[in-house]
Chain A
Amino acid sequence: MVGRARAAFIALALVTAALLLSSCEGSGLSPIFPTPVSPNGQDIYDTYVGISIPAIIIFVGVEIALLWVVLRYRRSRQPVGYVPPQIHGHTGLEVIWTVIPLIVVLVIAGYSFLTLQKDFQPITGEQMKVIVSGRQFGWDYKYEGTEVVVRQDGTLAEDVTPFVVPTNTLIKLQFEGTDVIHSWWVPAITGKTDAVPGYANYSWMKISQPGIWRGECAELCGAGHSAMQIIVQAMDKPAYDQWMAKQVAALHPTPSPKPSPSPSPKASTSASPSPSPSK
């Protein structure tokens, strides 16, 4: 029977699709974001999952209705000489399928707003602040309160210099653009933030575990756009302190391009990162 064969074919296609989608994370076929390592990323992840519930129900429902029309109401399945009822509409039905979607989007919007209010305002009370500036083609990370700047020059040939941060520390990120618009995005941490020339833009992160997370510039910024790789490396507090001390020491003997004031502020900068993350 043609209809049954078609239904079997469709069922097979659906199963194949489901198998494809269930393949694991990082395969290029994952139906969801990478596992978040920062609470704001987790909230986005949860919102995504939340929206998926009505989305999947509506998707499956409508596709089944479309399929049902194909299977049931096609001319070859109707009796010979069948004249369809000439229905011009039904106010009650139309009100129903206006009001129900309205309620669904109200709920989704409200839920999204709660996440927005929780995570997307410039934070205060941060334990550490880094000024991230985008340029053609790379990122500069200036650790506030120190003279340390990590220059992450874009390249595809090898891993770029990692942006090192301590774990379990609330870090405020301030984004600045120096030439064109760039966008800083590490999917495992949180959503992207644009680095626009002319004003500062804010985000934050609090990474729960040591590790390396990758991202890229997400706003077309010229020929080197695809090379603007991002690597964030999170370290335990002691390892981070060691790394920071090394950076500061590296600044000390060789005169940095900027005229560095005197040894005394440098001593204070080497001391300054340790009290703030120790909170």
Chain B
Amino acid sequence: MATTALPRPKDYDDSFFKPISLWLTTTDHKLIGIMYMVTGVLSFVLAGIFALLIRLQLAQPNLKIVEPEIYNQIISAHGVTMIFFFVTIFLTGIANYMVPIMIGARDMAFPRVNLLGFWLVPVSILLYYMGFFTGGALNAGWTGYAPLTEKAYQSTSLGVDFWALSLIVWAISGIMASTNFLTTIVALRAPGMKLTRLPLFVWAQISTSILLLIVGAPLAAAMILVEFDRQLGTQFFTTQGRPVLYQHLFWFFGHPEVYIMILPGFGMISEIIPVFARKPIFGYMTMVAALFGIVFLSMTVWAHHMFTVGMNIYVETFFMFMTMLIAVPTGIKFFNWIATTWWGSVEFTVPMKFAWGFLATFLIGGITGVYLASVPVDTQLHSSYYVVAHLHYVLFGGSVFTIFAGIYYWFPKITGRMLNRTLGEWNFWTLFIGFNGTFLIMHTLGLEGMPRRIATYANPAWATTNMIITVSSFLIAFSVLLFLINVVRSWNGGEIAGDDPWRGNTLEWATSSPPPPYNFERVPPVRSFMPLQDLHAAPNGAKPEPEPVKA
């Protein structure tokens, strides 16, 4: 899509190579957003290396590439880094960059809180990784179930302490960001940008922020209690205490966290599909309602992670039913996305391919979720490789594919240059094949009885399957390498994008690429949820019925 209008001469510095002092002190939401995103991608690479180590260890039965104790630290670091330091952080970054522009604001409501919130993230990451230098990092999985995390079973290492502190800092950072998003969206919308005209990505960010505001504090509380147990000798979750209480607290955060990681992705897909299908989103209001349905339901389902601890069956039935209900709003979103493209003129650019890859794979994660929600079936599937497959279909097929879609879609806006399309196609197809090759047959391993988080296995029947998985996982790594090469090359010398390379619908395409520090010289009038379509329809800004501007 070469809209090669020459870029206007700029009165501001839009190069990436700014003085380090500027990066350290900036309160510009765009630069902070970029820092969030770069932090996220670095975490992705790091956690990906951990994943490759896991796959090497499991490639054949009875391998001892790493000792079980080290293996447990690797799986924990993989999970924590992917969930807390990659997906959530990256999505916060892309929202930090896009939300103010999409609502026609100049910056976030609290720029300095934004700055502090971001800089708490590296602090949190460093705290977690301190564990590796103090006798061993967290080794109880990313969920860190008590009493395995208690001092009695972790005689020397401080890894659990650093994990708990890291997540407390992380939760504070997340609460700051959420407060900031909500205030920005409520208070700083451009004239005419009614709530019913918000882009769906912004609606997704509202729902995500509400979720994180509600569940961030319980996470911090759980971590503080873990620290009390370890350092002050309390007995909340110890063998003498109530270990299952920890699971309740953790999953009250942990399940909504899944939606914190996927709702912004839903938002991005809702932006991308209409643009490339050349049709408005089908059922805008139902899409918003579905988001809030998911927000509400996601806080009533946490104990479905605990169906084997021995709860009353009627309590289990409640959680089972609420969990299955989530399929309804998610289904609405799916059908609406498909309906958006029906009779459309769909251009399968790279972002659209990733969006379609997301739909094709996330569907599997959604359906296996219904199996897992059924209590009897879950007692078989729980904590097996079936769950590993399911959660990767949701988080990789869901979050990561949407993140790639978002990157390919907004990279031109952020850098002013297009990502290379050929490399992008290779990136998509290798990722799609590598991802399904890795995770589809993990379901069958779980069905046959391979538990998750085992450092090795003796069963020779699982050897071939595990080997296929390991080979495919390296295809994913290759794909990510292509992506990184593409980003670096295109950032330096990619095709000039112009302001609106995709013929977008929302306000960010009305300003230059990259946008000036003040975002807009003049915010275009907003008369629908697709303000740029209105501009294209009536070019000269000559509007038949100028709407009175309300502040």
**Residues of A near any B CB (own CB < 8 A):** 20-21, 25-34, 43-44, 47-48, 51, 55, 58-59, 62-63, 65-66, 69-70, 73-75, 78, 82-90, 93-94, 97-98, 101-102, 104-105, 108-109, 112-113, 115-117, 119-121, 136, 156, 177-181, 183, 185-188, 190-194, 196-199, 201-202, 214-226, 229
Contacts and interface: CB of A to CB of B under 8 A. Distances in A.
A36 to B, nearest CB: 10
Interface of B: 62, 67-69, 72, 139-141, 145, 147-148, 152-153, 239-244, 277-286, 308-310, 313, 316-317, 320-321, 324-325, 327-328, 331-332, 334-336, 338-339, 341-348, 356, 359-360, 363-364, 367, 370-371, 374-380, 382-384, 441, 443-445, 447-449, 451-459, 461-466
Query: 3 shortest A-B CB distances, which residue pairs?
Result: A191-B379, A28-B465, A226-B454
Given A28-B465, A51-B377, A181-B145, A89 B332 contact: no
A224 B153 CA distance: 12
Contacts of A31: 443-444, 447
Nearest to B447: A33
Contacts of A20: 441
A264 B389 CA distance: 55
A193 B241 CA distance: 20
Nearest to A79: B345
A101 B310 contact: no
B346 A112 contact: no
Contact of B309 (A33, A66, A116, A196): A196
Contact of B455 (A83, A177, A225): A225
Given A33-B447, A47-B377, A191-B308, A70 B356 contact: yes
A201 B448 contact: no
B145 A97 contact: no
Contact of B343 (A48, A84, A179): A84
Contact of A29 (B280, B327, B465): B465
A153 to B, nearest CB: 15
A103 B281 CA distance: 26
Nearest to B244: A196
A229 B458 contact: yes
Nearest to B339: A93
B455 A112 contact: no
A84 B360 contact: no
Contact of A86 (B279, B335, B458): B279
A183 B68 contact: no
Given A51-B371, A220-B453, A223-B68, A94 B280 contact: no
Contact of B448 (A34, A75, A198, A226): A34
